[in-house]
Amino acid sequence: MQDSQLLQIAQDFGSPVYVYDAERIATQYNRLTAAFKDVNQLKVNYAVKALSNISVLKLMKQLGAGLDTVSIQEVQLGLAAGFNAESIIFTPNGVSLEEIETVAKLGCQINIDNLSILEQFGTKHPKTPVCIRINPHVMAGGNTNISVGHIDSKFGISIHQIPHILRIVENTKMNINGIHMHTGSDILDIDVFLYASEILFETAKHFKNLEFIDFGSGFKVPYKAGDIETNIEELGEKLSTRFNQFCKEYGKPLTLAFEPGKFLVSEAGQFLVNVNVVKQTTSTVFAQVDSGFNHLIRPMLYGSQHDIRNLSNPEGRERFYSVVGYICETDTFANNRRISEINEGDILAFSNAGAYCYSMASNYNSRYRPAEVLVYNGEAHLIRQRETFEDILKNQVEIDFKPKKVKSTTKQNITL
């Protein structure tokens, strides 16, 4: 997408607005599949939680992806987007047995990550294929806020509990057709990821009827100039070789599965905002925009950095700005960032706004969630309307407060 097109989108659809580039999503998908072209069977299950707009899901289906879901609502979105239930894997955490059973009845692949539910589900539904999520106790990412492979993580069944898993499987005679792990986001060290993979291979040897091994995802994308990213080509070469070797040892070909979210959509997204006020204090110049952490919470929640550029004045002299929002809280997007000179009314663009941005938006301060636009074949398509005041009120129920009738307790004097 050219900056001129982004400016036109801001003019046509207003701000704030999320914009996604379908071509960039396709490029990332093709890059991943090319990196693992040497495996017998590759399955890319897009992580719906990253960006769940139904038009984006339809694009993923067109590319050939399946879906990784974490809630029954995400499953329903996938079905509404045209996915077959068989191409959806359900990997929840902390949900009820009833929710898992409901999804299983739809025909989706079930992935269970705790011993209690594994035993209950296996006892009631021994013939239903189940994948088991393992916690390898390996952190391949660099941020503890988004790493899920550490020993105190709520995700997955500890590798130290393999004997418990085997006992449950033996007692229930349940059908285990997959093994899964996810170490967390922002994988920095491929060798550490490969080490965790070896733990998964060792675990897989305990199960004789596997169809696939799911290595999760968490591939890092660059957030600023010079930022490091996961070398997906190197990972593809090394893991493919080891996976093919394991399949020979196992005695049959298996499917290698991934569940990327950020890798596919993060760099495809731009978040456009309008500058309401440029405010000079004794020490800081604030650019206050028509958004806040109600629309983009990642900088405040995870400390993530999104490159910010001034679309309206790209060649202007760079100055230092703190870009902040209009929420009645501290909602800082950037501190003392060098940006081309900003004036009130300028349009700023936040890069890497495709993953975990709109999907984590809220109505805090009773603000409307923004619109979403998908650029497909060079044309901008509105894929979500901006909310209105009617949307704010939609599910609220008003109580009719009527004055309470009070009985008089005044005693009358009676003369005899």
CATH code for position 151:
3.20.20.10
**CA 237 vs CA 189, 244, 250, 262, 274: distances in Å:** 15, 11, 20, 21, 44
Q: Is the predicted pLDDT of residue 159 greater than 50, yes or no?
A: yes
Among residues of the chain, what percentage have pLDDT more than 70?
93
| Domain end residue (candidates: 261, 289, 312) | 261
Can you point out the beta strands (E) in 64-175? 66-69, 88-90, 109-112, 130-135, 157-158
Q: How many Å is the Cα radius of gyration of the chain?
A: 26
Q: How many structural domains does the chain have?
A: 2
**Average pLDDT rounded to a whole number, residues 312-337:** 95
pLDDT at 185 over 80: no
Q: Are residues 193 and 48 in the same domain?
A: yes
Do 202 and 246 lie in one domain? The reply is yes
Residue 147: pLDDT band by 50, 70, 90 thresholds? very low
Question: pLDDT at position 218, please?
Answer: 83
Residue 274 sits in the same domain as residue 210: no
Residues in contact with 106: Cβ distance below 8 Å, sequence separation at least 6, in sequence order: 75, 79, 85
Place of tokens 């987007």: 81
**Which residues are known catalytic residues?**
328
Q: Which amino acid is at 328?
A: C
Q: Which of 233, 261, 289 is the last residue of a domain?
A: 261
- Indicate whether 229 and 308 sit together in one domain: no
Q: What is the mean pLDDT of residues 271-295?
A: 96
Kindly tell me the burial class for residue 260, based on how many C-beta atoms sit within 10 Å of its own C-beta (0-12, 13-18, 19 or more).
buried
Q: For the residues 76-103, what does the mean pLDDT come to?
A: 97
Confidence of residue 148 (pLDDT cuts 50, 70, 90): very low
* Bind-site residues: 218, 298, 302, 329, 356
Judgement on whether residues 33 and 91 belong to the same structural domain of the protein = yes
Residues comprising the chain, all counted: 416
Single-letter amino acid code for the residue at 359: S
Residue 209 has pLDDT above 80, yes or no: yes
The DSSP call for residue 21 is: E
273 and 178 part of one domain: no
Q: Are residues 175 and 302 in the same domain?
A: no
Q: What does each C-alpha distance from 131 to 91, 94, 125, 209 come to in angstroms?
A: 9, 16, 13, 11
Domain range holding 209?
22-261
Which of 381, 378, 376, 385 is closest to 63 using CA atoms?
376
Tell me how far apart the alpha carbons of residues 290 and 286 are, in angstroms, rounded to a whole number.
13
Residues flagged as binding site for pyridoxal 5'-phosphate: 218, 356
Name the binding residues for substrate.
298, 302, 329, 356
What is the tens place of the pLDDT at every residue in 28-68? 999 999 999 999 999 999 999 999 999 999 999 999 999 99
| DSSP 8-state secondary structure symbol assigned to residue 268 | T
pTM comes to 0.91
In a domain, 371, yes or no: yes
Of 238, 261, 284, the position where a domain reaches its end is 261
Indicate which CATH number applies to the domain containing 312: 2.40.37.10
